Structure formats: C-alpha cells, structure tokens
Amino acid sequence: MARDSLYEIHDPRFVHLIVSSARLEELYSGCRWAEGPVWFNDANQLLWSDIPNQRMLRWTPEGGVSAYRQPSNFANGHTRDRQGRLVSCEHGTRRVTRTEVDGSITVLADSHQGRKLNAPNDVVVRSDGTVWFTDPTYGILSDYEGYRSEPEQATRNVYRLDPATGEIDAVVTDFNQPNGLAFSPDETILYVADSGASHDDVLPRHIRAFDVVDGRRLANDRVFAVIDKGIPDGIRTDTAGNLWSSAGDGVHCFAADGARLGKILVPQTVANLTFGGPRRNRLFIAATNSLYSIYVTATGAQVP
C-alpha cells in the first residue's frame, strides 16, 4: 500500500482515478453536520444540508456560499429526478419531498401501511422515475437532527416509491440502519450502506449489493464491501462502475468487484459525497463541519 498525506493506494487501478497534483480544497466551514450534497449542472451550483442548523446551503464557483432554505425541516440526503427537480429526505417531518420548478413542495411519502416513516435519510431516483430511499431512525433518536420520537415502523427499511401512483413498497426490511444508496451505472445493482456500527461497534459497517429485478424487486443480497475506518454513510458510483463511499478517515473507492482501490484522506469524518462540476469530475465531500472538493479522473454517474 502506498500512502502520502492525501491518498492511500491499495490497488494500482486507483492511480488512474485520481489526479496526483490535485489537492483537497475546503470550500466552506461552519456547519454542525454537513450532509447530502447534490450537484445542479444546469445552475452550476451545489446544494447540501447542515442538518442540526436546520438549513440547506448553496455553493457556486462565482458567488461562494449562501443560504438556500432555512428552516429545512432537518433535511438530510438529496438527489434530482429525471426532470431535474430536487428530491429531499426530511428528518423533522419524517417525509420525502420534491421541490417543484415554482418552488412549491410536494410530499412524495410520509407513511407506510398507515404508520409514519422513521426518518428518511438518503434517496436516489431510477431512470423509470421511481424513488428509492432509506429509512433508519437517526432523525428521531434525539432533538439534535430532528425530533425525538418513538419509531412507528417495526423495521428500518429500504423503500421503492412510484410517484405516479403513490405506491410504496418496502424492498428490504432487515437492515440495522440503512443509510446511503446508489445504483450501478446500468441500474442492475443497488448498493445500500448499513451504518449500524455508528451506535454499537459490533453492528454492521458494510455496504450490501442487490440485483434489481424487473425494476421493482431486489435479489441476490451480498456484502459488497466493509469500511475499515468509521462507517459507510453516503455513496456514489462513477461511470466505470466504481463505488465511492464516505468513511471515518475520508473517501474510500471500491472497484465493481468489491476490491478497495484506495482512499482520499480527509481531516474530518466524511458523511456524504457527490460528483459535480461541468464534467462531473469534481468530487464534493460533506465532512462534519466543512464542504471540501477535489478533482479526480473518474466521471460521476449521476443523471441529470
């Protein structure tokens, strides 16, 4: 393993995914817990959450950082649907919402089988328009990132939601704390992080992989990778099928075969990340108090 102050190289393939001369840039500090970055290429902006401060922030290359939404209902993870609209997970309201082009808010999901969701955490949208999200209990464990409440769901699930019909199905029900999720570039695999070790070291700190069947069901459950420092939280894939995961010591990169290729070392615990910039080759990293970025040679798979 090769290591310098910024990179750990576990596999020669990682050398071709990083820019050796690139350096980690701190774009903003002052968050209490930075989370949920999402890139808008058409607006040349990044949005992300500062959960305990009840706000969503916006960064642009020209204008720096400004407030996007406050209060934010303790919003956590975000993505965009195929029409470019913002889709968000809110701890405070225990719901998944969509921000329409006129700024109005549409509630996509706030309950399952007549009971409130726990605290939706992270979300992705498939090419068929379906919304897939995780529902751990982090946002109701205390009043720091939401409102302390007793869970009404018996399990902590991964859901598939069809916004066209309102149909919502629990596609996996045996997670300890499902967290970040991402599709492979061809959408045949769904990766889901289990961050149960955040509150009990003997619980999972791994990423599971599932085959997507008919765009509706998940099969062939297996452990894809284990995080050796901290826990997996937010995850993203690049166009070559590599998976990039948050971790306690930075960003870990795994090949599609599950091999750890290397790490980008970050001075704060990383919660989430996304690819952005005009060519989707800039990695934006939400890490505890700060927003960082670094250029890579990988291209993010996010659409749009």
What residues pair up with 66 in beta bridges, in sequence order?
58
Average pLDDT along the chain = 97
Where are the extended beta strands (E) located within 128-205? Answer: 131-135, 156-162, 167-175, 178-183, 189-194
Q: Is 4 a residue whose pLDDT tops 90? A: no
pTM of the model: 0.98
- Percent of the chain topping pLDDT 70: 100
Residue 158 · residue 180 · CB < 8 Å: no
Predicted local distance difference test score (pLDDT) of residue 230: 98
- pLDDT one-digit tens code per residue, 143-185: 999 999 999 999 999 999 999 999 999 999 999 999 999 999 9
Amino acid at 219: A
Query: Binning pLDDT at 50, 70 and 90, where does residue 2 land?
Result: confident
- Segment 222-231 shows an average pLDDT of 98
Q: Is 301 a residue whose pLDDT tops 80? A: yes
Query: What number of helices (H) and strands (E) belong to the chain?
Result: 0, 28
- pLDDT one-digit tens code per residue, 110-123: 999 999 999 999 99
Predicted local distance difference test score (pLDDT) of residue 304: 86
Q: Which residues contact 260 (CB under 8 A, 6 or more apart)?
A: 10, 11, 225, 252, 253, 254
Specify the 3-state DSSP secondary structure of 15. helix
Higher confidence at residue 302 or residue 192?
Answer: 192
Phi, psi of 249 (to 5 degrees): -110, 5
Q: CA distances (Å), 2 to each of 19, 35, 136, in order?
A: 15, 29, 36
Cα gap 287→269, rounded to integer Å:
5
Cα gap 177→121, rounded to integer Å:
10
Q: Is 302 a residue whose pLDDT tops 90? A: no
Report the candidate in 20, 30, 33, 66 with the shortest Cα–Cα distance to residue 47. 66
Cα gap 136→88, rounded to integer Å:
15
- pLDDT one-digit tens code per residue, 31-67: 999 999 999 999 999 999 999 999 999 999 999 999 9
Cα gap 270→239, rounded to integer Å:
22
